[in-house]
Amino acid sequence: MSLMRKMLLAASTNAWLRDRATKTAFVRRSVSRFMPGEQVDDALRAAAELNLHGITTILTKLGENLMRVEEAEQVTLHYLDVLDRISATGVEAQISVKPTQLGLDLDRALCERNLDRLIARAEQRNNFVWIDMEASTYVDATLDLFRRSRAKTARIGIALQAYLYRTEKDVESLVPLGAAIRIVKGAYLEPPDVAFPKKSDVDANYYKLCTRLLAPDARKPGALLHIATHDIPLAGRLADYITQHKVPASAYEFAMLYGIQRNQQERLAREGKRLRVLISYGEYWFPWYMRRLAERPANVWFVVRTMFG
């Protein structure tokens, strides 16, 4: 892992930096590249705009590791309202939540109850809830949450990270369920005893996990693979695999983040591929933004250029 990536990921959890950076005009300006705005209305507008180009979306409110039960309640009420508003406006959007936003650090039972409320509303509104994967210490609890919810509804999916050694086994354990799974490379700072330190190993594992989930025996009712990456050569190799193995279009979607590889997003849509763009919004953007910078050191130069006008 590069030194720059390590430094940015370490900075993502620094409260002193967060308090200063979020008040700095040039940082706020550079964040707007990855985020249409801080309010859900900004995200809904961006989603409607993408829908016009044949691109579907996922909305996620930024914020993690909440410290108070009332905050988890507010987040849950917020997402319930978002599900209602998506339904009322007819925008093609799902939602994605972090377990620690729903209170996982505070009380596991509370987090489960909050997630239950969201999946019940998603059932009513004909929608879908994704569970983000956070740092490796949360994987067991997040998988438990997912399995519990999947027993009640197929309107739920989970993100799994290709950089973790354990993910191959986790994928195998979820195949019999017919799970909707978003494969990502992984965005957190993890030690070498839990995650591949070399990018080439992460990329190789990513391909392996996706092809496993595209195999005929993994195609069960409710199963769906999200190929969530901006790595165009890797996505291209998976597209070749899909063509060669005649994988049905209903088995997978591509997924990318708002503002990243926009020209590639448009290309996929033009080619008639199913693409979902994850749109983040909210005031608590600092750790998330640091993770986006860490993914591509050139982004830091973009911030510096913004600073000088």
Ligand X SMILES: Cc1cc2nc3c(=O)[nH]c(=O)nc-3n(C[C@H](O)[C@H](O)[C@H](O)COP(=O)(O)OP(=O)(O)OC[C@H]3O[C@@H](n4cnc5c(N)ncnc54)[C@H](O)[C@@H]3O)c2cc1C
Active-site residue set: 132, 182
CA dihedral 30, 288, 265, 50 (to 10 degrees): -80
Q: Does 296 bind ligand X (CB under 6 A)?
A: yes
Phi/psi-derived region of residue 211, left when phi > 0, alpha when psi is between -120 and 50, beta in every other case: alpha
Q: Residue type at 58?
A: I
- Select from 212, 231, 241, 251 the one that contacts ligand X (CB under 6 A): 231
- Select from 61, 185, 273, 274 the one that contacts ligand X (CB under 6 A): 185
Residue whose C-alpha is closest to residue 83's, from 100, 49, 58? 58
Q: Does 184 bind ligand X (CB under 6 A)?
A: yes
Residue whose C-alpha is closest to residue 11's, from 287, 217, 245, 309? 287
Q: Does 142 bind ligand X (CB under 6 A)?
A: no
Q: Nearest approach, Cβ of 216 to ligand X (angstroms)? A: 25
Task: Indicate the residue among 113 and 230 with the shorter CB distance to ligand X.
Answer: 230
Task: Indicate the residue among 60 and 114 with the shorter CB distance to ligand X.
Answer: 60
Angle (CA) 197 257 12, round 5°: 50
For residue 87, how many other CB atoms are within 10 A of its CB? 16
Task: Indicate the residue among 214 and 278 with the shorter CB distance to ligand X.
Answer: 278
Contact map string, positions 103 to 132, toward ligand X, x by CB under 6 A: -----------------------------x
- Select from 118, 213, 255, 269 the one that contacts ligand X (CB under 6 A): 255
Q: Does 218 bind ligand X (CB under 6 A)?
A: no
Residue whose C-alpha is closest to residue 235's, from 276, 209, 207? 207
- Select from 278, 280, 281, 286 the one that contacts ligand X (CB under 6 A): 278
Q: Does 229 bind ligand X (CB under 6 A)?
A: yes
Q: Which stretch binds ligand X (CB under 6 A): 5-13, 61-69, 213-221, 227-235?
A: 227-235
Task: Indicate the residue among 84 and 165 with the shorter CB distance to ligand X.
Answer: 165
Task: Indicate the residue among 31 and 256 with the shorter CB distance to ligand X.
Answer: 256
Contact set with ligand X (CB under 6 A): 132-133, 159, 161, 182, 184-188, 228-231, 255-257, 260-261, 278, 292, 295-296, 299
